[in-house]
Amino acid sequence: MLELTQLHTHYGLSHVLQGMSMTVEAGEVILLCGRNGVGKTTLIKTVAGWVAPSSGSIRFEGTEIGGMSSDRICRLGIGLVPEDRRIFPGLTVEENLKLGFLQCPKRPAAQSRRVLEEMYDRFPRLKERRLQLGNTLSGGEQQMLAIARVLVGAPKLLLIDEPTEGLAPMIVDEIFATVERLRTEGIAILMVEQNVYRALDAATRFYALERGQVIAQGSASSRGDREALMKAIAV
């Protein structure tokens, strides 16, 4: 579904991604891990079109998307849940969710209403708070809203950056349960997460980064691969 080949990305003179190559297959949950500042978030933003690559290839379902605008990439079927969530504080939960419909501008209104109800079934807490303003939600509720807002656009590939950072353990369990449920529904996920042990239980494969390069990769269910990963990132 997604193939990165010798991807390089700069911030000014800072060479962040230094020849990244990786793949994401349909229905996989891929964990990106490593220390802070190694390029994980930059990789996510480069795929989403928030940052332009310097060189290399990004192919999504066979189409080269490197350098495309973020809105075009979104409409091809790639949704991004950023680390800071980007909830609009002055809009209600429902108004925030409806912004996700912009990903599918040709969808009939009746279908959009059905999708909204389905999202409320998936996240009952959002239904309870649908008329509350975004800035009145807890951190966990805002994270659920950020994920739901992307899902209403029916993405094929979901990019999630640090979904459980700063959340209570009970909410962390809910977020990972959502990730695992999305995997069973066939949505591919590329996830940056510092809670490596917990994330591996939800993932199918992993890539560990250091200085913008892959230093370890493997199966999330392989004990040997896990041990090699922990050694590589010194967790």
Question: What confidence score (pLDDT) does residue 233 get?
Answer: 87
pLDDT of residue 228: 92
39 and 212 Cβ atoms separated by less than 8 Å: yes
Mean pLDDT, 10 residues at a time, over the chain (235 residues)?
A: 97 94 96 94 96 97 95 94 92 95 86 93 94 94 95 95 91 91 93 94 96 95 94 79
Handedness of CA 180, 186, 30, 156 (dihedral sign): negative
Q: Tens digits of per-residue pLDDT, 118-132? A: 999 999 999 999 999
The tens digit of pLDDT for each residue in 73-127 reads: 999 999 999 998 999 999 999 999 999 998 888 889 899 999 999 999 999 999 9
- The first and second tokens of residue 232, run together, are 């590589």
**Average of per-residue pLDDT values in the chain:** 94
- Burial (CB count <10 Å: 0-12, 13-18, 19+), residue 75: middle
Give the pLDDT confidence score for residue 60 in this predicted structure. 97
Per the DSSP assignment, residues forming a β-bridge with 214 are: 209
Q: How many CB atoms lie within 10 A of CB 193?
A: 24
Taking the whole predicted model, whether its pTM rises above 0.75 is answered as: yes
pLDDT of residue 235: 53
Alpha-helical (H) ranges within the chain are 40-48, 70-76, 93-99, 109-122, 124-128, 139-151, 169-184, 196-202, 223-233
Position 234 scores a pLDDT of 77
Using CA atoms, how far residue 76 sits from 61, 62, 64, 146, 222, in Å, is 9, 11, 11, 19, 33
- pLDDT for 113 equals 92
What string of DSSP letters covers 5-34?
EEEEEEETTEEEEEEEEEEE-TT-EEEEE-
Domains and CATH numbers, the chain: 2-85+156-233 (3.40.50.300)
- The pLDDT of residue 105: 81
